[in-house]
């Protein structure tokens, strides 16, 4: 019997190892960067959820079973089992108080970006039919709309005339499709208000012409920027944002 009591509980040992797997993973992740690129095959992305979530949870369950078995069978390893229970518990508490607010703010921020009027407009492809000159419709840097006034009725009339399908809208802007491309029409006299709700940082300019970005869902609590082109109606009364990169279609839209 004395020999039986001296045996180490395998459950406690396995639970302890699983509970410290996040630390082991960090060490292995560091050394994986020293390997040739061909051998370092997405180490972090492949094993991050397993090492930081699955292993500690399984380790917690196994450690509890190990401590129970130690009490029943009189084996060694109780301290390992208790440690295997404590570490995931501490990690959970720390995660809730430290990373919880960060994740919440990230989700909130992401949600705010995702709910703007450019959401799901797609992205620009490679420009085609470039022999069509659309420079006269481009919104260039420094353009001023301060002396213009446009009514909501005029916006509705313009959108119905230009768009083949109307998806959504309000008193400032209307979104729809033309030739299978997404178009967003904005009243030029409400441009500043629209930007404050959808893109506070304003337009960006490439070669003097306006471009605007919106945040597209990418991964959990993560987004990536997507570029859209910005045009203005020849009357200066409307701003048009689109993912259309076909200059023939752009010419037809404004023509």
pLDDT confidence of residue 247: 97
Q: What pLDDT is recorded for position 228?
A: 94
Q: Enter the tokens of residue 73.
A: 């069978």
Find tokens 């033309």 and name the residue: 178
**Residues 159, 185: contact at Cβ < 8 Å?**
yes
CA-CA-CA-CA torsion sign (160, 162, 163, 164)? positive
Q: Give me the pLDDT at residue 38, please.
A: 44
Task: Tell me the torsion sign for CA atoms 127, 130, 134, 139.
Answer: positive
Q: What is the pTM of this model?
A: 0.57
Distance CA 51, CA 24 (A): 9
Give per-10-residue mean pLDDT for the chain (255 aa).
62 86 72 52 57 80 87 81 83 65 50 65 90 94 85 96 94 95 95 88 87 78 82 95 96 94
């Amino acid at each position: 019997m004395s020999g039986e009591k001296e045996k180490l509980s395998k459950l406690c040992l396995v639970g302890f190892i699983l509970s410290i797997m996040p630390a082991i993973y960090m060490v292995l992740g560091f050394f994986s960067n020293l390997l040739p690129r061909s051998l370092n095959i997405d180490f972090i992305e492949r094993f991050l959820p397993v090492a930081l979530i699955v292993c500690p949870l399984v380790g917690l369950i196994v450690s509890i079973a190990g401590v129970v078995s130690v009490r029943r069978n009189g084996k060694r390893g109780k301290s390992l089992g208790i440690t295997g229970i404590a570490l995931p518990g501490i990690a959970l508490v720390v995660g809730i108080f430290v990373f919880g607010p960060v994740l919440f703010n990230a989700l909130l921020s992401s949600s705010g970006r995702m709910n703007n009027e450019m959401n799901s407009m797609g992205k620009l492809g490679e420009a085609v039919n470039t022999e069509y000159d659309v420079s006269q419709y481009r919104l260039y840097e420094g353009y001023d709309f301060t002396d213009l006034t446009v009514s909501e009725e005029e916006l509705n009339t313009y959108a119905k005339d230009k768009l083949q399908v109307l998806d959504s809208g309000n008193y400032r802007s209307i979104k729809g499709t033309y030739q299978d491309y997404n178009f967003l029409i904005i009243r030029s006299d409400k441009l500043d208000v629209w930007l404050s709700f959808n893109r506070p940082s304003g337009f960006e300019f490439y070669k003097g012409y306006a471009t605007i970005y919106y945040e597209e869902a990418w991964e959990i609590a993560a987004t990536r920027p997507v570029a859209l082109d910005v045009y203005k109606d020849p009357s200066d009364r409307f701003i048009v944002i689109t993912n259309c990169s076909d200059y023939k279609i752009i010419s037809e839209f404004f023509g």
